[in-house]
Amino acid sequence: VLYIWLGLTEFALILAVVLNKLPLVIATIREGVRSFDPAYDDLGRAFRMPFARRLRLIFLPQLMPFALAAARTGLSLIWKIVLVFEVLGSDGGVGFRISVFFQFFDIKGIVAYTTAFILVVFAFEYLVLRPLERHILKWRQVRT
C-alpha cells in the first residue's frame, strides 16, 4: 500500500521496513523486559550500585538474548522486503536482476543470482551475527 501512495522510492522502502518490523521488535523486547529476574536488581541495590551500572551489568545482559532474536528475525524480514522492492520497481540490485532474468526465462541467471543472494545471507549469519551473539552472550552457561 505504501508503494501505491508514495511510489517506489527509497523512503517508501525504509518506511515499509520500519512499519513491518517495529511491532515485532517492540513485542520481543517487551517480553525480554517481562522476563527480568528482580532478584538480580535487588542484589545490585543491596550493593548500592548506581542505576547506570545496574543497567549495564544487570538489565542489558538479561535483555540481550531478546534483542538478538529481534535483530535476527528482523533481518530475515528486511531481506525479503528489499528483494520485493527491487523486483517491483528498482533499477538495480539482486531483485531487479532476478526479475529481468525471469522475464527472459533465463533459469541459469535466476539460479545464479538467487544462489549469490543466499550465500551473502549465510555469510552475514555466520561471519557477523553468530560471532556477535557469542561475544555478547559469553556470560551465559553452555547447556549440554
**63-77 pLDDT tens trace:** 999 999 999 888 888
Distance of CA 99 to the CA centre of its chain: 25
The span from the CA of 110 to the CA of 97, in Å, is: 8
**pLDDT at residue 142, as a whole number:** 66
**Which residues neighbour 94 within 8 Å (Cβ) at sequence distance 6 or greater?**
83, 86, 113, 116, 117
Q: What is each CA distance from 140 to 24, 36, 102, in whole angstroms?
A: 25, 15, 47
The SS3 call for residue 7 is coil
**pLDDT at residue 1, as a whole number:** 64
**Which residues neighbour 56 within 8 Å (Cβ) at sequence distance 6 or greater?**
none
pLDDT one-digit tens code per residue, 113-130? 999 999 999 999 999 999
Q: Residue 25, exposed/middle/buried by CB under 10 A (0-12, 13-18, 19+)?
A: middle
- Can you give the pTM of this predicted structure? 0.74
